[in-house]
Structure 1
Amino acid sequence: MSQPLRAPAPAADSPTGGSGPAGSAPRRPATAPMRPGFVEFVALIALLMGMTAFSIDNLLPAFGAIRADFALANPNHVQVMVYAYLIGIGAAQFLYGPVSDVLGRRPILFAGLAIYVAGSAIALFAQDFQLLIVARLIQGIGAAAGRVLAIAIVRDRFEGRDMARIMSLSMMVFLTVPIIAPALGSAILFFGSWHLIFVAMLALAVILWVWFGVRMPETLHAEYRIPFSFRSIGKAIGLTLRTRRSMGYAMAIGLMMGSLMTYVGSASQVFQTDVYQLGNLFPVAFAAVAGIMALASFLNASLVHRLGMRRLSHAGILGFIVVGALMVGSSVAFDGKPPLLLFCAMVAAAQFLFALTVPNFNSMAMEPLGAVAGTASSFIGGFTTLMAALLGFMLGNAFDGTVLPLSLGYLVLGSLGLGFVLWAEKGRLFSHAA
C-alpha cells in the first residue's frame, strides 16, 4: 500500500513531535486511533458506497408487491422509488462535501446515517405510496453522506493511480451488492412482506455506524480544513467548474450513469414481469450482470497501474458505444424482444465496459482538485447523480414493453459521453500515461 499523501504533522506521532529515544520507533499517543489496514480500509469504503446500491437493489424484487399493495395504475410509476432515492442522494451531496471540509468526515457521516435511519423507519410504516416516496427521498439524503465521504476519504489518503486502484477495489466489493441484494430481497419476501426489506436497511446502517465509529479515524488533516463561508465554497465550486478535465469527465460520468439507472429502474419490468417474465428467477439474471461488473472492476484494479487510466477508460467507452449499437440492432431485428441469453450477454458486456470506464473517469475528474476534495466530490457527485436520475426517469418512463428504449439509452448516452471526453482531452484519446 502506498503511503498516505497528506501525512499529519510530526506531533501526531509523539507528544513532543520527535522520534523518541535513539533506535526506537516514534511513539503514538495512547488515545490516537489507529488507521485501518489496507484490506479493512477497502472493505469499509466499499460498504459505505455499497449502502447506496443495497438500498435500491434489494427492493427491486418487491416492485410487483408494492405495485399491488398501493394499486398503482401505471406500472412505470413504481420506478419512482428508485429515482426519488437518487434525487435525495444527488441534492444532499452538494451540502455534505463543503460541510465535511469544515467539520471533518466523521461527524458528517454520523449525521447522514441518522437521516438514513429516519427515512427507513418512515418507509417501514408508510401507509400510502406518496409517503413511501417521501421516505425514499429522506433515505437518499442520508445515504448521500456515504457516497460523498467515501470518495473524499480515499482522496484524503491517495492520489493518481493509487487512488484509482483503491476506487476499483472498492468498486469490486461494492458491485457484489447487486449480486446478492435482489436474492436477499426475494428471500425476505418469502418470509414476510416488503416492509421487512427496510428492516434490513436499518441493520446495515447500524453496522456501518459501529464499524466506522470504532475503526476509522478522522482523515481530514487540520491544514486542509477550510472556514465555512459561501465565498470559500463558491471558490471551490468555481475551481471545479473552471477545470476542463474535471467537468468534461463529470459530464461523461453523468451520462453513463444515466444508462445504468435506466437499466436498474426498468430491470424488474424487463426481466421479472413484462418482457421476459422470469418471475422468481429475476435475481439470477440481475446477479449475472452484476457479477460481470465486479469482474471488470477487479481487472481494472489490476491493470490500471500497467496501462493507465486513459487507455482503459477510453477503450471502455468506445466499446460501450459499439455494444449499445448492437443492442439497438438486435432490438429492432427481434421486434423489441431479443432472445434472453443474447440480451443478457449484451447488457453484461455493456456493464463490463462501464466498470472499466466510470471509476477511472471519477479519478481523473478528482485528480486536479485535491485541495478542495470534499467540496469537489460533493459537487461532482451531486451533479452526476441528479443528471443520472433525470435521464433514468425519462428513459425508464419510456418503457413500452420492449428493450428498445433501454438499448437506445446505452447507445445515445454513451456517444454523448464520448463527446465530453474528447472535449476534456482537447480532441485526443489515449494521449497521456496517467
Structure 2
Amino acid sequence: MSSNTMSPANSPAKTIGQRELIFLVAFMLSLHALTIDGMLPALDNMARELNAVEGNQRQLVVAVFLLCGGLGTLVPGAFADRFGRRPVLLFALVTYALFSLAVSFVHDFTLLLVFRGMQGLLTAGLIVVPNAIIRDRYEGDRMARLLSIVGAVFITVPVIAPSAGQAVLLFAGWRWIFVILSVLALMAAIWVWLRLPETLDPNNRQEIDVPVITRNMWAALSTRASIGYVLGTSLLIGAVFGYVNSAQQLIGEHFGAGDWFPVVFGGTAAMMVVSNLINSRIVERFGARRVSHTGVLIFIAVSLGQIWVSYNHPAQLVWFLPLMATNLALLGFLGANFGSIAMQPFASIAGAASSIQSFFRMFGAAIVGLIIGQSYDGTAHPFATALVICSTSALLLVLFSEKGVLFRRLHGPRKVDE
C-alpha cells in the first residue's frame, strides 16, 4: 500500500503535514551527521587530551562510529516492521542522548571509542526508520523528490556543523559538543512523541521471526533491480566518508588551510544542498533513473580530473576545491534517486528492506571510507584514485541492475513483494 496520505487505520489523533514531516525526518538524520561533522574541528584537541596522537589514530573517532552504525542497521528494520516506526525511533533518540552524554565524561581514548561504537550500534534506527516512514507514504519519483528535499535540509548540517563545533571550542571544551548533541536528541524525541503518528499499515506488520526476517531481507537483497543501486550508493558514500575521515588532515596539513577548515569543508558540502534542491525540482519531470545515470557519468569525469590535478597541481587548494565541490554536488543527483529506486519494490516490507539496504550502504561505505582515510599519505593522490574507482564501480553495478540499459524511464513501479 502506498499513498500520499496515511490510511485511516494509521491516522490517530496525531497528524503531521508533509512540510513538518520533512523537517522532522531531516532533523533525525542530521543527528547522525552532527555526531560526525560537528566534532571534526575538535579532533586535534581530543587526540591531545586523550593521548591519541599517533599517525591517523584520531580518524577512529569517526570511523568506529560509522562502522558500528553500519552494523547496527541490520536490526531496527525488523522491529519497525513489527512494533511500528515510533517506538524504534524513540529508543534510538534516547540512547543517542545517553551515549553523547557519556562521551562528554570520558578520559580514556579506548573508552571513548567503545562509547562511540555503542552509540553507532544502538542508534542505527535513525538511519533506517526515516526511509521506511517516507516509503510508507510515497513511492516512485515522488518519493525521490521528497528524499531530495529531506536531503537538502539534512545536508545543511555538514555545511554548518564544523563552524558550530569551532564556535563551541571558542567558549568551551570539546566535551560540550557532545552535551549539546544530547540535548538535541532529547528535543527530537519530544517532537516524535508529540507529533509523529504511526505510519506502518497494520496489514503490513511482520513477525519477529528469524525465517520471516531472513526471507524479507533476502527479498530486498536479491532483487536485481535494486541491489546494484544499493551497492553503488555504498561506494559513492564511501568515497565521501573517505573525504570526511581525512578532511582535517587533507585540508589542514596537505593544503595548509587549517584555519579555514570549517569554511572550506562547509563550502564544499553546501553544493550538496543546492543539488538536492535542484533534483527535487527536476526528478519528477525527467525521472530518477535519467537524472542519476547522467550524474554518475559526470562524477567519473570529474574524478578523473581530480587525479590529474593531484599530480599536476599538488598542494594547490584553488584547483582541488572546485572539483571537490562538484563531486559533492553530483551526489545530490545520486543519493536520493538511487535510494528511491532501490526501495521502490518493497512497499510491504519497507522496514526490513531499509535495514538490509542501509547495512550495505552504511557499513560498506564505512569500510570503504576507513580504507580511503587510512591510505592518506600526505597527498591527495590516494583520495583522487579512490574517487575514480568508486564511481566507475558504481556505474557497473547500475548497469547490472538495469540489464545494461541506461536512461530509461519506467512508467509503472516494479514490485516484487505484492
Distance (Å, rounded) in 1 between the aligned partners of 2:221 and 2:326: 33
Shift of 1:143: 3.1
Q: How many residues are treated as equivalent by the alignment?
A: 410
Indicate conservation of the 8 Å contact 2:68/2:120, yes or no: yes
Greater CA deviation, 402-411 or 70-79?
A: 70-79
Question: 1:175 is paired with a residue of what secondary structure?
Answer: helix
Distance (Å, rounded) in 2 between the aligned partners of 1:257 and 1:396: 13
Partner of 1:18: none
Partner of 1:412: 389
Distance (Å, rounded) in 1 between the aligned partners of 2:366 and 2:3: 37
Superimposed CA distance per residue, residues 47-77 of structure 1 (whole angstroms, 9 cap, x where no aligned partner): 1111111110110000111121123242311
Partner of 1:357: 334
Superimposed CA distance per residue, residues 102-127 of structure 1 (whole angstroms, 9 cap, x where no aligned partner): 01111111111222122212211111
Superimposed CA distance per residue, residues 267-310 of structure 1 (whole angstroms, 9 cap, x where no aligned partner): 111112x1122223211001111111100000000000111101
Distance (Å, rounded) in 2 between the aligned partners of 1:313 and 1:409: 20
Indicate conservation of the 8 Å contact 2:149/2:280, yes or no: yes
Indicate conservation of the 8 Å contact 1:112/1:141, yes or no: no
Q: How does 1:329-344 map to 2 (within 5 A)?
A: 329-334=308-313, 336-337=314-315, 339-344=316-321
Distance (Å, rounded) in 2 between the aligned partners of 1:369 and 1:231: 18
Q: Which runs of 4+ in 1 moved over 4 A?
A: none
Partner of 1:323: 302
Shift of 1:5: 6.1
Partner of 1:156: 136
Distance (Å, rounded) in 1 between the aligned partners of 2:3 and 2:238: 35
In the alignment, structure 2 segments of 5+ residues that lack a partner are 412-418
Question: 1:131 is paired with a residue of what secondary structure?
Answer: helix
Question: 1:220 is paired with a residue of what secondary structure?
Answer: coil
Question: 1:81 is paired with a residue of what secondary structure?
Answer: helix
Q: How does 1:7-406 map to 2 (within 5 A)?
A: 7-9=7-9, 32-272=12-252, 274-334=253-313, 336-337=314-315, 339-406=316-383
Superimposed CA distance per residue, residues 334-367 of structure 1 (whole angstroms, 9 cap, x where no aligned partner): 3x42x21221100000011111112100100000
Indicate conservation of the 8 Å contact 1:58/1:184, yes or no: yes
Indicate conservation of the 8 Å contact 1:116/1:141, yes or no: no
Greater CA deviation, 255-264 or 110-119?
A: 110-119
Identity of aligned residues (%): 35
Task: Look up the equivalent residue of 1:256 and give its one-letter code.
Answer: L
Superimposed CA distance per residue, residues 129-153 of structure 1 (whole angstroms, 9 cap, x where no aligned partner): 1111111112212331111111000
Shift of 1:416: 0.5
Shift of 1:83: 1.1
Shift of 1:8: 3.3
Distance (Å, rounded) in 1 between the aligned partners of 2:397 and 2:109: 38
Superimposed CA distance per residue, residues 83-111 of structure 1 (whole angstroms, 9 cap, x where no aligned partner): 11112211111100001100111111111
The CA RMSD over aligned residues, in Å, is: 1.4
Distance (Å, rounded) in 2 between the aligned partners of 1:342 and 1:179: 20
Superimposed CA distance per residue, residues 9-65 of structure 1 (whole angstroms, 9 cap, x where no aligned partner): 4xx78xxxxxxxxxxxxxxxxxx3232112111100111111111110110000111
In the alignment, structure 1 segments of 5+ residues that lack a partner are 14-31
Distance (Å, rounded) in 2 between the aligned partners of 1:330 and 1:96: 43
